[in-house]
Amino acid sequence: MEDAIVVQGTRVHNLKDIDVTIPRNELVVITGLSGSGKSSLAFDTIYAEGQRRYIETFSAYARQFLGGLERPDVDKIDGLSPVIAIEQKTTGKSPRSTVGTITEVYDFLRLLFARAADAYSFQSNEKMVQYTDAEIQDTILNTYLGKKIAILAPVVQSRKGHYRELFASIAKQGFTRVRTDGEFVELSPNFKLDRYKTHDIEIVIDRLAVKESENDSKRLADSIETAMYHGNDMLMVYDFDTEKARFFSRKLMCPSTGISYAEPEPNTFSFNSPKGMCPSCNGLGLKHEVNLKKVIPDDGISIKSGGIAPIGAEKSNWTFKQMNSIAERYRFSLTDALKSIPKEALDVILYGGNERFSVASKTLGITREYSIDYDGVVPFLEHQYNEGHTSALKRWAKGFMDEISCPDCHGARLRKEALFFRIDDKSIADLTQMDIAALHKWVKGIREKLS
């Protein structure tokens, strides 16, 4: 064997007819400026030629499946043995990728949470419950035996409206009573509620005394089924003694407030799926917010000389016509330092205003008409950032903004409901915040904690 790889006359890409001798059985590092041709030499010349020679050893039959590899533009390479290239793989720099998603570890966590996590109510933090019809019937029998109860089907929960059509349709289906905002009422034609108030409405499906006989059980089972049908898989049991109502649901449900969650699935925990992402930040965990200090970096200078950075120094354009009108309206001058102009004027400049007014000119003896129809610098920047048609505009607007943690999910990227599914008192977002060693330990210990 020769003791060197000798490359003669390589002209691949930018290489200018280079000769190089590389010692074998040594660790050799090729260094140089970016663009000087390191990869062209290592990958596109030496490795490519090694690959080509390897494939040449295959039969013609096998080669037809591999496709021909082009000979690199090099005069001669001696001393080459079979080659292996380990390339540096850069992943896309999408803000949606995390170590968890790239390694696919997060996919397993999502599956674990969809199958094994307990749901808690985001309103009361109580554990969510879920019952079968048979369990509901047993619970009613045990809890309310000998008592007079009503089976109710909730149809409206904390929503505004007069609901006249709803009541008409309930009556048409043969029900005569409803419970509205906690009061039992007999339905009458044209019955309606105050449309500007929020209401809770339940259909009274049945009123009965809870007994254990076969007939009574059958009646209870029928009423449960009817209530579930009208209540969208949820019902309430009202106890006439205590005047308290309790929720039962086929879905995951908060026992005290009645809010319910859909059955969890892996996408419930995905910040890249509309089912799981925080709607406020679209699953990014970050938002951009205009920073007024960047809009007005120095309030000692005037609007005319560029005190409001995004609009710059005075030009003859529409924006400065608006600035003039605002100055007329609030009686200041565009040459005043920003810190001395009225606060109301600054509010209009920053957040917009819409007004027509006239000003009598003393010197000319006439009245001038002005109109302010200005969106404001802050909404303009937000619009350019969110809907800017070019990336240059977007970048420009971003320059006046700060990246802040999303106020709704606090950077956890998921919908509120998803964050209230927990295993061993940890949400999936808690796990993704752990360092790898701590997460590994947690995962190793999880088997004993699951049923």
Q: Which stretch binds Zn ion (CB under 5 A): 8-16, 41-49, 110-118, 278-286?
A: 278-286
Applying CB under 5 A, the span of 10-18, 50-58, 243-251, 277-285 interacting with Zn ion comes to 277-285
Task: Give yes or no for residue 338 binding Zn ion (CB under 5 A).
Answer: no
Closest CA to 237 of 150, 153, 155: 150
Contact 116, 423 (CB under 8 A): yes
215 Cβ partners below 8 Å, 6+ apart?
none
Q: 205-233 in b/e burial notation, b at 16+ Cβ within 10 A?
A: bbebebeeeeeeeeebeebbebbbebbee
Nearer to Zn ion by Cβ, of 273 and 319: the residue is 273
For residues 380 and 385, what is the distance between their CA atoms, to the nearest angstrom?
A: 9
Q: Bridge-partner residues for 37, per DSSP?
A: none
In one-letter notation, the amino acid at residue 442 is W
Smallest distance from the beta carbon of 285 to Zn ion, in angstroms?
6
> Distance between CA atoms of 234 and 136, rounded to whole angstroms?
11
The single residue among 64, 280, 358, 386 that binds Zn ion, judged by CB under 5 A, is 280
Contacts (CB under 5 A) with Zn ion, residues 139-158: none
If the CB atoms of residues 170 and 281 are measured against Zn ion, the closer one turns out to be: 281
Report the residue number, 204 or 409, with the smaller CB distance to Zn ion.
409
| Residue 296 CB, nearest approach to Zn ion (Å) | 28
Of residues 40 and 432, the one with the C-beta less far from Zn ion: 432
Q: Is 289 in the site for Zn ion (CB under 5 A)?
A: no
Which parts of 7-104 fold into alpha helices (H)? Answer: 38-41, 48-56, 60-66, 99-102
Pattern 380-409, Zn ion, x by CB under 5 A: --------------------------x-xx
Q: Select 299 or 408, whichever has its Cβ closest to Zn ion.
A: 408
Of 349 and 429, the one with the shorter C-beta distance to Zn ion is 429
Q: Which of 119, 278, 296, 311 binds Zn ion (CB under 5 A)?
A: 278
The helix-helix angle for 133-144 and 214-230 (nearest 10°) equals 120
Footprint of Zn ion (CB under 5 A)? 278, 280-281, 406, 408-409
